[in-house]
Amino acid sequence: MFQEKEQHNGDLRESQVKRTQAEKVAASDIMVASLAHELKNGMTSILNFVQYCLNTTSKEDERAAALLGAERETKRCINIVRDLLAYLRVEKEGEEAPQEVSCAVILEQVFKTLSSRIEKERVSIIQHYAEEIPKVWMKAGSIELVFSNIITNALDALEKSEKKEIHVDIQREDKFIQIAIRDSGCGIARKNLARIFEPFFSGKPTGEGTGLGLSICERIITQHGGKIICESKIGTGTKFKILLPSKEGKG
């Protein structure tokens, strides 16, 4: 009887500790988000001032180069804050309701959005979609962000490649829908491959990536009950496999 009471008290204390830790994390997220909002507003104002000065400064003026540098770095900082807010999942224009959507439809929207860059850089998009693929119960905007992030990374990886191809496959995988996105780009170094989903880790040169994009992708896919896996080899390319529960397999 005494042991049962001690066990109960121990479980209660553990539960209280976990609840306290969760409350601290939630409070920290809110604080960071509030600070990020303030920084974003301030930097947006700075950007407006810089761009005003650029518009009223001759290109021949030696100060123009400094203003262009200030504009570039301010935009970079704004992007970092934006990605941080997206990672925290605090900045929302309204809670998005899940719905039944085809992954092919979401991908087509992404390719349409990126069509100008795809055409300009002469990238070939090769699509292989299996027939009668079930829809996925998803927050379409979030999944579109995932696909857009991965395809944009693929385009970045293809910039210096002679062979510019992105292959997209959609197949049924048991109770999941598998979306594979493969590029023929530069690939990811083995030492970096295990860290690509870490927040703030980036294999890109300093100033060219926030290191939050893939962290956000993993978080979104996990929230949808799925998985995201990356395979890559230097000089060969990179392949992302995304598994999302199909409508039929959900529950």
Q: Are residues 163 and 60 in the same domain?
A: no
Predicted local confidence at residue 93, as pLDDT: 44
- Average pLDDT, whole number, for the chain? 81
Q: Counting Cβ atoms within 10 Å, is residue 168 exposed (0-12), middle (13-18) or buried (19+)?
A: buried
Q: The tokens of 143 are what? A: 């999944």
Range of the domain at 82: 2-88
Q: Are residues 156 and 208 in the same domain?
A: yes
b/e sequence 94-109, b meaning 16+ C-beta within 10 Å? eeeeeeebbbbebbee
Residue labelled with tokens 């980036």: 202
Q: Are residues 40 and 150 in the same domain?
A: no
> Do strands 227-233 and 176-183 pair parallel, antiparallel, or not at all (unpaired)?
unpaired
Where does a domain end: 22, 54, 88? 88
Least confident of 139-148, 191-200, 235-244: 191-200
Q: Are residues 80 and 120 in the same domain?
A: no
Q: Are 189 and 239 in contact (CB under 8 A)?
A: no
> Do strands 124-129 and 165-173 pair parallel, antiparallel, or not at all (unpaired)?
parallel
Q: What 8-state DSSP symbol labels residue 170?
A: E
Nearest CA to 240 out of 162, 139, 170, 172 is that of 170
- Identity at 114, one-letter amino acid code: L
The pLDDT tens digits of the residues spanning 91-106 come to 454 456 788 999 999 9
